[in-house]
Amino acid sequence: MTTPVPLYESVAIVTFVPDGHVKFIDQAQHMLWSSWQFAIGQVPRQLRGRTDLLVFAHRNVVARLPPSCVRLGDPSLLPSTQSSPPSHDRCYIVEHTPSADAYWHRYSFMFSLSFLAEPAFQPLLMSYDRLLRTDTDVVITPAFLTFRPRQFVVGRGGYMVEEYTKSRIQELAIDLHMTHQGLYNVGSTWFGNTSTVLSMVPKMLEVAKFILDSPKYNVDQGFPRWHIGVTSMYAGELVVNHFIPKDNVWVNSESLDINCNSIEKTINVYHSHCWPGDQYPGYFNKWEFERGEYTAQRFPRDNLDLAVLNDYFMAMALYGK
């Protein structure tokens, strides 16, 4: 099999929608899916490779996700994206319901990553050249469809602001016999070679479990000093440092995980994320969105400038197909 030119590599955007929270369903449909649907219509296929959206979801929410997405009862039935690709970008819904006794019910955010370690999903995931692992409270822009960097790209995290925390994660690395190269604030969004992403996830789960089970590290000292609520971020940072040479990692604070209230030019951004907290001025703000404060009367479509990121985010959330 010939190696595809990077620009034409196939990409899967992967995310997980849990049960029990309507907000995650709304985010998946009105932010991630609507922006993907818009973006694929803006960049001609002859100028890029395929970018599919794979939404892994609890069985109780599958029916509430976009009806145009193909439901994959058996992920192995998806045609290979490399040997016989479908003729256009597709959205797929894959049912994944964690067992009632799954360890991660004690720290449910890890369900947004643990599905990537499921053996049943490996053939499907490995049929793509690259994966974008993302949360649901995000939008992608048309620029992402031709973004094929040489390096493994992560967004910027906001959990590491004190020297104490840096020294503690270095200590954690020593205790686990892992390497920390000095890359801090590694965001939750990962974009890279599929085999690299999938090889890191089991170790990330292992690190997170170690933190949660450890009498030494499972002691909350408050955010941002050492907070158990961001265990996934500590684990992700350590795994990226351990698996990938520092020169091959791009902690991209300019165009990935950009806050949804930004007034950056949309063309300069690949991916925008709603940062935690309700303290950011202006719009877009996902808490105001959840409270129903954003309406067509307040933000008419004709008044939104899609060339500016916060207006783009608003347009996707309010007017996406």
Given a cut of 60, is residue 27 above it in pLDDT?
A: yes
Residues 197, 14 contacting (CB under 8 angstroms): no
Convert 47-66 to b/e letters by CB count within 10 Å (16 or more is b): ebbbbbbbbbbbeebbeebb
The per-residue pLDDT for range 224-256, each reduced to its tens digit, is 999 999 999 999 999 999 999 999 999 999 999
3-state class percentages of the chain: helix first, strand second, coil last, to nearest 5: 40, 15, 40
The overall average pLDDT reported for the chain is 93
pLDDT band at 1 (very low <50, low <70, confident <90, very high): very low
Considering the four listed CATH numbers 2.60.40, 1.10.10, 3.90.550, 2.30.30, the one that applies to the domain covering 9-319 is 3.90.550
Domain boundaries, the chain: 9-319
Average pLDDT of the segment spanning 114-128 = 96
Tell me, what's the pLDDT at 4? 59
Given a cut of 70, is residue 66 above it in pLDDT?
A: yes
Residues 253, 157 contacting (CB under 8 angstroms): no
Higher pLDDT, 33 or 275: 33
Given a cut of 90, is residue 320 above it in pLDDT?
A: no
The per-residue pLDDT for range 126-135, each reduced to its tens digit, is 999 999 999 9
Average pLDDT of the segment spanning 149-177 = 95
Given a cut of 50, is residue 82 above it in pLDDT?
A: no
Residues 275, 259 contacting (CB under 8 angstroms): yes
